[in-house]
Structure 1
């Protein structure tokens, strides 16, 4: 049975007909899947991206980095009472009025951690082994209860994590959240192409090699899934954005929400000082009057090492991937079709060759395409940058060992909770390991009156 003419009409103009060369050998199920994949791909875009990449140089990125300056609309630490008291009240009022929602990016798997499940399911509690999901959802449970208002949670998954994530939430009773206030949606995918020919690669017979379209796929995902319409119907005005691998992110932080509102910002982002010029963090800066984030790999070493008159790094503010968006700004980007740019990465990707054999390359052979949500910053008319504390709010779980690993995140959580107990008036043994369920408390202030005496060994408060 020959391939349908409509598929040939799609593929032939883009020299992608190889995708259906083995059509006769495919089962009906394989044909149906491949056909749906082909029809979902915009081959004009793929062709354009490939040719742009082949003809590009690094000069453009170097030029941007050379023009980068520290952000001018900036709120730095320490957060003195006069600086943030009003902001905290404003943020709390937004939550109480039901105008705040939260966005969780949870499309990643725990593969690099040796964990064959969605990363959000990773056991990170230093005492209980509670999941990453638990530390984030629990904060929403706490703030919702305290404010007497609903904070809907919009959770972006991927093809790889969606089903298991939804099952996990159901089994865990949505971690205390109301199921009606949790909205799951999937990010999109993009095909991988041969970096020399531009041919879309096959992962196996009847299946195109694809990968998630990056956290910048959030905009399209919110729009197409109906999540954006749900926000509108609920009267949500501001959205707190965070990633699943950072258990110490302050979800729906009233101070951050309030500062965003007070500055009439369309998008706000939290930053922290880089340890050194070589730290692999995107840099939040200002280029030609626009706030933006430049990838560390796009900043030449000599520019990254530049210092100011005080000897501080000129480009020192690292991106924490914690943002606040105004819903109206997201709507504008979606309605106007102001697409975020694709970033193209060189990857080693196993694939089928023309003979049907699986090739496992030892060097990069493919281009993968993804969008980054932080590319929305320069599109905003107003953008705010807010400094946060690394110890308090940036302890991601990215590597199996060493820095940014489960071990460092668990230690950071325990140290944070111990500091809360001490501030609340309790005595803590030096070797104590402490875990506080966020539904019980999300700050030292909330612990006051709930704890007393001394604690040692393993301590779990819930």
Structure 2
């Protein structure tokens, strides 16, 4: 039988660490070697406060083991584990505390792109190209939120898109994808049998309700095999600017958690293996869209047509935006070291960024009556090969900056 000292030796832990978490030290015999390894991570990351209120061995032992079950889940669900999560949080908190400008060294400019006018010849040509290529696409719906801000207690995708028929958003989205599927195969001719896949990112709040809505309505005409639900995991809450993990006030053996951001969808697609399945099946595009934008599918085919015609690795669909309107602006940033990138800059940051970069009037309307910086609507198109390659390099993480081809 291995002694605690032997476990310390195997894990390169000095016995001195016990002084920082004496209550944990007393309970090490309850833990597996994997749990001791996680304990080492927590202590090295300055989280010894988590064990301050642990009871003596023989008291709450099952709760202590459950604590490490939760830690293991939190560690595995974040790219780079808890070490990366805590280090990233500390850097962001430190930057915020000192007022560090995230755009320091960058000069903003108007991004290049294709301006489409609904229904004109140019729009129709791109739309036809997009419809043709849509059989090579997969759609990803980010639907992890409830409709509480709208005064609705259910999932947002169950809300009616319009009041005439009461068609809900999810039905509208699925029927739109099926229409694209049919039109694309019609253009392809021959024996085209494409089933365009749909992945839906859910959360603890929405997962079962989304599944129930689909099953109750026979997936609104889609094959159940076409639809994949990916549930985002929660991340640990932080207690202070030093990124100490917060204990649940109702249970001293649990970490308080919260839903993570929409960026989880990238790590979920990667870690689930779904992105590789799509890539190996010969798909070319991944299209991301949000849960309550009923007009989106009027523009998606043309936007996809732009991507396939221009051979873009990344394409962001945007809308006309009034200067200083409370919506983020798509902006090209050029760093003094030569890097360039296209990013959504929040409206409250865009105007001061422009003023500090030689635009004395800041964010103002052009002769078109709109700001030169179009409005972000969180609709992205990725070419699957470069996208998968980037996620493979980072282990499922993606930069907040979107670098176009």
The interval holding the TM-score normalised by the smaller chain is: 0.7 to 0.9
* Correspondence for 2:354: 303
On the 8 A contact 1:61/1:298 being kept in 2, the answer is: no
- Equivalent of residue 9 in structure 1, options 8, 24, 40: 40
On the 8 A contact 1:139/1:251 being kept in 2, the answer is: no
Verify: 1:290 aligned to 2:341, yes or no. yes
* Correspondence for 1:237: 284
Equivalent residue runs for 1:20-39 within 5 Å: 20-24=51-55, 26=60, 28=62, 30-39=63-72
Separation in 2, partners of 1:164, 1:54: 35
Structural RMSD (CA): 2.8
On the 8 A contact 2:323/2:364 being kept in 1, the answer is: no
Q: Secondary structure at the match of 1:291?
A: strand
Q: Secondary structure at the match of 1:215?
A: coil
Unaligned runs of 5+ in 2: 1-25, 76-80, 186-193, 335-339, 356-361
* Correspondence for 2:245: 200
Separation in 1, partners of 2:223, 2:298: 17
Q: How big is the shift at 1:311? A: 8.2
Equivalent residue runs for 1:212-361 within 5 Å: 212-250=259-297, 253-277=300-324, 279-288=325-334, 289-301=340-352, 303=354, 305-307=362-364, 310=367, 315-337=372-394, 339-341=397-399
Separation in 1, partners of 2:148, 2:269: 26
* Correspondence for 2:234: 189
Q: How big is the shift at 1:322? A: 1.4
Unaligned runs of 5+ in 1: 342-374, 383-462
Q: Secondary structure at the match of 1:281?
A: coil
* Correspondence for 2:153: 116
Q: How big is the shift at 1:13? A: 1.7
Q: Secondary structure at the match of 1:75?
A: coil
When normalised by structure 2's length, the TM-score is: 0.75
On the 8 A contact 1:157/1:184 being kept in 2, the answer is: yes
On the 8 A contact 1:62/1:300 being kept in 2, the answer is: no
Separation in 1, partners of 2:200, 2:368: 42
* Correspondence for 1:128: 165
Separation in 1, partners of 2:384, 2:82: 31
* Cα 1:145–1:166 shift into 2, 3 Å: same
Verify: 1:211 aligned to 2:268, yes or no. no
* Correspondence for 1:19: 50
Equivalent residue runs for 1:395-414 within 5 Å: none
* Correspondence for 1:93: 132
Separation in 2, partners of 1:246, 1:210: 29
Which structure dedicates a bigger proportion of its chain to helix? 2
- Residues 157-177 of structure 1 show CA distances to partners (whole Å, capped at 9, x for unaligned) of 123222221222111211211
* Correspondence for 2:216: 171
